[in-house]
Amino acid sequence: MTVRPTEPRPAGTPDASRPTGVPAQGAGAASGPGVEAGRPAVTRSAPAPGAGGPARPAALRKRWLAAGLGAVLVALVAGVSFGPVSLPPGSVAAELLNLLPGVHLDSGLTERDVAIVTELRLPRVVLGLLVGGLLALAGGCYQGVFRNPLADPYLLGVAAGAGLAVTAVIALGVGAGGALTGLPVTIPLAAFVGSLGAVALTYLLGAAGGRDRSPATLILAGVAVSAFLAAGQTYLLQRNSDDIQQVYSWLLGRLATAGWQDVRLVLPYFVLTAVVVLLHRRELDVLSVGDDEATSLGLHPQRSRYLLIAAASLGTAAAVSASGLIGFVGIIVPHTVRLLAGSSYRVILPLSMLFGGAFLALTDVVARTAAAPAEIPIGVVTALLGGPFFVLVLRTSRRVLT
């Protein structure tokens, strides 16, 4: 915080110290002609790049919204068209339009091809859109809440909790006799419960820091919880080495589906998470200026922070329960959106949801076709893309967590 004498400023000049979309300070703030000449004024530095400090207009422009929707449509058609059996994208698009009420087009596909489109590939692509959207939305939300550009959906121990729960289910024989594909309910339920349990444990450990704790407290608590749960998972794997292959096939991430069941599992949590986070996205811009300033603007920082963390964690747990552990989506997509479209969270969050879904669906196409007829785990592909990107963010970020 820097103190400097008030300098005359032309009327109508915007206050560069206030993030875009944040209203002017309320009652008690000195401004306008009522300020005495020579009276010192407090100037707050703008938020650091990558931490939510906007440098562009905060409004979500129609062209970016159209680009996000277009990316989703392209990913949908490409994901359904390409695979071990390639289908003409034009015919696939016509067949997808036939799913709309009142539309009847001649796609030229055989009954076998139509079955591949509607029963095998379309559920998988839709699941990829939902999971990718949730992970990217949660990543952008965590980065705003913690004011940390390196935050991602697994920050609070979600990955470790899900991994331990799934390892326990497989190793201890819950639903014994079936492979992962034969456990359509048990594995996702275990991952979901483990993820939320890890988040709850992180909250309890973070609460030990007292009421006036910084965002770093929850991050450190998440690291501690993750280390503890990872140790438990390693112990179970060591005691049950025969189940390592099954566990790792889930931990590496996959979007394989046996129909629409996984989509129906994730969809309610996707809707709930998206509604809560998007309705409160303006508050992230206010939180970026600090808790004291946010309180002076009428916001309850801790209540808003915990509400957003709970919503993002719920969405992440649902995504993990259906797809396994798919990393780096929550870092790659929000940062790319921030660099291209603007740094206000009113822009970042909705675009991250759209582009995140498209990104994961297209990544799944690569995972299915790069080594066909074999399939690369999608978590491996995202890690190959996300590793260099993470290093780039680490090198260019000037935001230090305090």
What's the whole-number mean pLDDT along residues 226-236? 91
- Tokens representing residue 258 in the block: 């046996």
Q: Is 249 exposed, middle or buried (0-12, 13-18, 19+ CB in 10 A)?
A: middle
- Tokens representing residue 88 in the block: 């003409």
More confident residue, 321 or 50: 321
Distance, CA of 361 to CA of 123 (rounded, Å) = 11
Q: Helices (DSSP H) in 24-107: which residue ranges?
A: 62-81, 89-97
* 214: Cα separation from own chain's centroid: 22
* pTM for the whole structure: 0.78
Q: Residue 195 in contact with residue 161, Cβ under 8 Å?
A: yes
CA dihedral defined by 89, 94, 96, 100, rounded to 10 degrees? 160
More confident residue, 158 or 181: 158
Q: Residue 130 in contact with residue 263, Cβ under 8 Å?
A: yes
Give yes or no for residue 56 having a pLDDT over 50. Answer: no
Residue 246 binned pLDDT confidence (cut-offs 50, 70, 90)? confident
Domains for the chain: give ranges and CATH numbers. Answer: 62-394 (1.10.3470.10)
pLDDT at residue 49, rounded to an integer = 41
Beta bridge partners of 52: none
User: Which residues neighbour 11 within 8 Å (Cβ) at sequence distance 6 or greater?
Assistant: none
**Tens-place pLDDT, residues 176-191:** 444 443 445 677 788 8
Rg (CA), the chain: 23
- The region of weakest confidence among 133-147, 248-262, 264-278, 360-374 is 248-262
Residue 308 binned pLDDT confidence (cut-offs 50, 70, 90)? very high
pLDDT at residue 214, rounded to an integer = 62
Distance, CA of 227 to CA of 64 (rounded, Å) = 40
The fraction of the chain above a pLDDT of 90, given in percent, is: 35
